[in-house]
Structure 1
Amino acid sequence: MQFSKLFSFIFTFQVLVFSFCEPQQCNKNDPITTISVSQGGNANFQTIQSAIDSIPEGNSNWIHITVDSGVYKEKILLPGTKPCIFLEGSGKEETSVQWGDSGTAHHTSTFDLQANYTLVKGITFQNNHNIVDEKKNVTPAVATRVHADKCALIDCGFVGVQDTLFDSFGRHYYYNCYIYGHTDFIFGKGQSIFQDCKIFFSNGLAEPRDGVITANERSSIEDPSAFVFKNCTIDGSQGIKANLGRALELGNPRVIISDSYLADMIRPEGWNEVQEFVGYEQNITFVEVGCRGAGSNMTGRVPWINKLSDSEINQLLNLSFIDNEGWTSNFPIQILT
């Protein structure tokens, strides 16, 4: 395409000084280059992956990829050598990316985000492997893996059954997102704040089964990571029950749920651990504070639920938990309300 040649020319000088080291920050004040994706043919590209592929490695200027409404049936990789990308759809109800793959979490993601300084807005990512056939056994099928630092995902959707959102590594901010799944469907060891998100528990299958929402993999007490949910809504299908989370591996898992609505599909015990954790419950940090709804009743909670001090909880709820450098203000649009 003629555009591809023009786009390469725009970045000639960048390519000449290209370095595989990531930029300390993206050049917010420089002119933003916009490229478009549409299945209708009136855009620069017809697939999201081809638009990403056109961007030179080592980019340090914000590139805005606009994606028209529609269902894009493709598997997307945003490699670590391409930071400073703003990927924007037409809204999570209007623009979706769908794929169906199952296996190890590192290889099945419909969207595999590996680049630091990435902003994604208004797109739903779905792994339909466990959804297209109600008779299948449920297996790991990741809709999105976020394995990068300083990333924000705004007004996005993540739809799957098992292992929907692999919040793998890095500091992340999720705002007004919709996360749908059944088994460990928010998992990993990211250092992340989920604010004003809706989490919906359902296996999408004809046969109802109980399940678990989070599976945090924080490895040690020195590991700064945690899942922090602020002012979220946690709801689900009728007739099945869920625990808020479990300790997936022997380590120091940490999940905080604050000022959120918990529906009656939350089991009374709230949390559980794998067999290997029995006797090591003091290493688990699961916290609920200021929550409401039928599922927030603490009467039947596991006896080992962690009670942090008010100051410790406030440190985790504060934006500085993920951003003590100001990286959330470096995006080309305002992401904080």
Structure 2
Amino acid sequence: MKWVNFVGGLKHSVFKTAKNIAFPSYTIIVAKNPVVGDFTSIQDAIDSLPSINPVRVVIKVYAGVYTEKVSIPQGKSFITIEGDGADKTIIQWGDTAQTTGPNGQPLGTNGSATFGVNAPYFIAKNITFKNTTPVPPPGAVGKQAVALRISADTATFLGCRFLGAQDTLYDHQGRHYYKDCFIEGSVDFIFGNSLSLFEGCHLHAIAQNAGAVTAQGRSSILQDTGFSFVNCKVTGSGALYLGRAWGPFSRVVFAYTYMDNIILPKGWDNWGDPNREMTVFYGQYKCTGPGATFAGRVSWSRELTDEEAKPFIDLSFIDGSEWIRL
């Protein structure tokens, strides 16, 4: 467990020191009614910003269903997207990995996202990101359908909903904080290789057969990445793994989390590669509910001690005090 002590004292040196901008310089209104807002499209509002955006901008999105595919380019940092409530402001689209793109080739999982973020210091509040693709049948190919992809450092999501089926939330790369969010899906519906803390979130499965909450993609022992779920709850349908070892050094911890009886007793899956059982880190700490029983878990997962759990259960896990501005 030497690495637990290492992580506990880590400043995550692979990341640059974060210098967030908390106070908005100005606000843009997006509304379905053109008389009320500055724009009727979220993408149009983003496109109106300079290609290198140096100040915090709030894009206030009034209630409504916005059927559009949205992308935030790399230079447009410091954007806040704020809805009227996650049940009232919804951004939706229906691409999958096999959808043909403008170049005549399949979009792939990355390109299937309804909402893609490629710039740092992004904040989303009280809004729903949805991929409308239904739950695919077992064994279906190319049905990955991402609701939101976050491919940049220092992103915060507060009171948001992520709705989809296979591969709902692509937590791709960077440090991310999710608080009081609702995340729904069937297979690997939280996946990627970010360093992310999920606090007070509701993870809801709509799997028809077997499914998995996470597929964390840590590929090297040198990577400071992993998912930590604290004070969350897992509910829904199907027979669910807590995680599958998408990366050989996959790292996921559930702490103080309620688990419904849909969790498979084994808890974790090795992605068909027994060698990964020696290198992954899967842990539980003081979880509750009928699905949290540790007795049937695979031998290569662990029930954490207080000391082992400590690095994972607060904002220091993601250097949050540096950059999170609620």
TM-score normalised by length of structure 1:
0.84
Determine the C-alpha separation between the residues in 2 that align with 1:314 and 1:134.
40
Structure 1 unaligned regions, length at least 5: 1-21, 330-334
Task: State the aligned residue count.
Answer: 299
Extract structure 1 runs of 4+ deviating beyond 6 A.
133-136
Determine the C-alpha separation between the residues in 2 that align with 1:155 and 1:111.
16
Pick from 173, 176, 179 the counterpart of residue 175 of structure 1: 179
The answer as to whether partners of 1:284 and 1:306 remain within 8 angstroms in 2 is no
The answer as to whether partners of 1:51 and 1:65 remain within 8 angstroms in 2 is yes
Deviation at 1:274, TM superposition (A): 1.7
SS at match of 1:71: strand
Q: 1:56 to 1:24 in 2, by over 3 A?
A: farther
Residue 51 of structure 1 is matched in structure 2 by 45
Answering whether residue 314 of structure 2 is matched by residue 321 of structure 1, we say no
Answering whether residue 147 of structure 2 is matched by residue 151 of structure 1, we say no
Residue 125 of structure 1 is matched in structure 2 by 129
SS at match of 1:252: coil
The answer as to whether partners of 1:25 and 1:60 remain within 8 angstroms in 2 is no
Residue 225 of structure 2 is matched in structure 1 by 225
Answering whether residue 274 of structure 2 is matched by residue 270 of structure 1, we say no
Deviation at 1:280, TM superposition (A): 3.9
Determine the C-alpha separation between the residues in 1 that align with 2:17 and 2:318.
19
Residue 216 of structure 1 is matched in structure 2 by 216
Relative contact order, higher structure (CA 8 A, sep 6+): 2
TM-score normalised by length of structure 2:
0.87
Structure 2 unaligned regions, length at least 5: 1-15, 98-107
User: CA deviation digits over 1:170-204, x for unaligned, max 9?
Assistant: 0000001000000111000010000000000013x
Answering whether residue 156 of structure 2 is matched by residue 160 of structure 1, we say no
Q: What amino acid sits opposite 1:38 in the alignment? A: A
Pick from 272, 288, 303 the counterpart of residue 292 of structure 1: 288
User: Does 156-165 or 134-143 show the bigger shift?
Assistant: 134-143
The answer as to whether partners of 1:119 and 1:152 remain within 8 angstroms in 2 is yes
Determine the C-alpha separation between the residues in 2 that align with 1:270 and 1:91.
34
Deviation at 1:23, TM superposition (A): 11
The answer as to whether partners of 2:31 and 2:37 remain within 8 angstroms in 1 is yes
SS at match of 2:291: helix
Q: How does 1:52-71 map to 2 (within 5 A)?
A: 52-71=46-65
Q: What percentage of residue pairs aligned between the two structures are identical?
A: 37
Deviation at 1:37, TM superposition (A): 0.2
Radius of gyration: which is bigger? 1
Deviation at 1:105, TM superposition (A): 1.7
Determine the C-alpha separation between the residues in 2 that align with 1:32 and 1:314.
38
The answer as to whether partners of 2:93 and 2:114 remain within 8 angstroms in 1 is yes
Answering whether residue 247 of structure 2 is matched by residue 256 of structure 1, we say no
Determine the C-alpha separation between the residues in 1 that align with 2:92 and 2:140.
20
